[in-house]
Structure 1
């Protein structure tokens, strides 16, 4: 199945100054947005009240969320706890939940939640309540940053071994670009950034590198098959050869994420939206950013050929 002709010859590298310029501007803008506006961290990172409610009869998550909103408790995170009768509720404490010293009163928070739930369902009962401080959120944030860095370094090491150092550098630069732009859009829109979104950012990094490895494989193959060819020509042919595969894969993955967004419920909205943004950004960077960086780094056929020095078997080959 092909959308574009396998042997088409669109001059993607001819637009490299324009595409690299846009990519650089997007990275700078994303860094500026994250530094100035910051991210709208969710309860996972900022802390808050955690309550578990139990019902005598099965209850829908949407009904629990609607009851809390009707009771004046907005933006609560409601999740099922392995069944249809027990739910977890996480929320930011409101002014009414603070004591005289300005500290969170779990008794007041529990009373407010109980009133809101029982106004709709009298069989609701709270089984536990707790407060998660901001220190835990700070640890999660730092762990998340470390996780992203470890993933990117691991990808760089893998590509350095499988291909060549120029491929590793090009991949890491584009991965940083993809992750930064995705997070920058969250800073711009001020959508909630929680652990689900962080997990999807890591998924975006993995998805994006898959696209680039496909193009890199074709680049290596064409370099080894061609007797004499300019690097720019090889890179252009590689992008054109894999373009249908890239677009088809991205389109069907995006359709899956769109279905998850519309039918998966509010809990997975953050994950689905992040993946949709990441798929778009990663696909464009695979086509317009990764190969121009390779060309700028000076990739050539010699870099991808087996080294014969010190290997008698290869030296004997004609």
Structure 2
């Protein structure tokens, strides 16, 4: 009878397959990002955003019908808090930039037999502002990656810093690749989720690295591959419990949080799954491939320059 010991899985021997899988997924993601690009939301492309209030509950289809009747194409309509509050987003167009937009909307609702809305807010977002948000968002991700690499380099050793950086870049690239391939709208909430994914990924990686450092000092006769394998197995339950409980919350947010949180929750779901995978199969094994060994993590005697053997 075939049995699997969940406390002694040989992850290191499967690293070649994991590398091939990750490289293929990253290549597909980069190709999609390069040729297809992202379906950027109004936060990045510019456009018009309106907040409408109604005295009674209203169907979104009725709101969409009235907006399209006003000559405003491709509106994105969703509830904003309650079913009496509606948020409308319009792509850039001459019609949506009309200074008499509120008058047109009021007339259109009356013409279609709908209730007259209270137009609480109309915001016009220019394309230049959207481009600045794209640049600032990309810069924020790069700064986060740089700070993470510096932190791991100072706390551990350069080989581990490279492993952590590779794993941390791996996760947002695959998340962005999914959004590009699926054509899911990418807005500021999704960008916030990407930054959260970067932090989540490195947190899981640091836990594994800490255990590797401890085991290098305790398992003196073990090879580096055996130490890495044992460390991943020992932290497996922690990783799965943390990821599982977080996923329960995020999945609930995805299904019950409403359209405004849909993209945010989806990015977190993908990021958590990919981040757990990369902390197991990418970060530690990359450091191992680069030649990480026991002496790299030992304390150094300032006088002799040699590693200090701990009891």
TM-score range, shorter chain: 0.7 to 0.9
Q: Which residue of 2 aligns with 1:161?
A: 154
Residue 237 of structure 1 is aligned with which of 230, 242, 255?
230
Decide whether aligned partners of structure 1 residues 311 and 49 sit closer, same or farther in structure 2, where only a CA change above 3 A counts: same
Unpaired runs of at least 5, structure 2: none
Secondary structure, counterpart of 2:302 in structure 1: coil
Residue 277 of structure 1 is aligned with which of 255, 262, 270?
270
Q: Encode CA deviations 1:100-154: one digit per residue, 9 max, x unaligned.
A: xxxx4242x4345435656576352224434211110000000000000011111
Q: Which residue of 2 aligns with 1:69?
A: 64
Residue 147 of structure 1 is aligned with which of 129, 134, 140?
140
Q: Which residue of 2 aligns with 1:110?
A: 102
Q: Which residue of 2 aligns with 1:247?
A: 240
Residue 287 of structure 2 is aligned with which of 294, 297, 301?
294
Q: Encode CA deviations 1:178-226: one digit per residue, 9 max, x unaligned.
A: 1101000100000000000000011111111111111111101100112
Alpha-carbon distance between aligned partners in 1 of 2:62 and 2:188, rounded to the nearest angstrom: 25
Q: Is the 8 A contact 2:215 2:227 kept in 1?
A: yes
Unpaired runs of at least 5, structure 1: 99-103
Q: Which residue of 1 aligns with 2:11?
A: 12
Secondary structure, counterpart of 2:221 in structure 1: coil
Alpha-carbon distance between aligned partners in 1 of 2:212 and 2:65, rounded to the nearest angstrom: 58
Q: Encode CA deviations 1:276-316: one digit per residue, 9 max, x unaligned.
A: 1111111111111112101111111101111102389x989
Alpha-carbon distance between aligned partners in 2 of 1:147 and 1:176, rounded to the nearest angstrom: 13
Decide whether aligned partners of structure 1 residues 189 and 229 sit closer, same or farther in structure 2, where only a CA change above 3 A counts: same
Decide whether aligned partners of structure 1 residues 128 and 15 sit closer, same or farther in structure 2, where only a CA change above 3 A counts: closer
Q: Is the 8 A contact 1:68 1:76 kept in 2?
A: no
Q: Which residue of 2 aligns with 1:28?
A: 27
Q: Is the 8 A contact 2:52 2:85 kept in 1?
A: yes
Distance apart, 1:158 and its partner CA? 1.1
Q: Which residue of 1 aligns with 2:163?
A: 170
Alpha-carbon distance between aligned partners in 2 of 1:120 and 1:294, rounded to the nearest angstrom: 66
Q: Which residue of 2 aligns with 1:37?
A: 36
Q: Is the 8 A contact 1:47 1:132 kept in 2?
A: yes
TM-score (norm 2): 0.87
Decide whether aligned partners of structure 1 residues 159 and 315 sit closer, same or farther in structure 2, where only a CA change above 3 A counts: closer
Secondary structure, counterpart of 2:119 in structure 1: strand
CA RMSD of aligned residues (A): 2.8
Q: Is the 8 A contact 1:68 1:113 kept in 2?
A: no
TM-score (norm 1): 0.85
Alpha-carbon distance between aligned partners in 1 of 2:37 and 2:129, rounded to the nearest angstrom: 19
Distance apart, 1:14 and its partner CA? 0.4
Q: Which residue of 1 aligns with 2:260?
A: 267
Q: Is the 8 A contact 1:197 1:274 kept in 2?
A: yes
Secondary structure, counterpart of 1:228 in structure 2: coil
Distance apart, 1:161 and its partner CA? 1.5
Alpha-carbon distance between aligned partners in 1 of 2:59 and 2:103, rounded to the nearest angstrom: 15
Q: Which residue of 2 aligns with 1:101?
A: none
Q: Is the 8 A contact 2:106 2:116 kept in 1?
A: no
Distance apart, 1:89 and its partner CA? 3.2
Q: Is the 8 A contact 2:299 2:308 kept in 1?
A: no
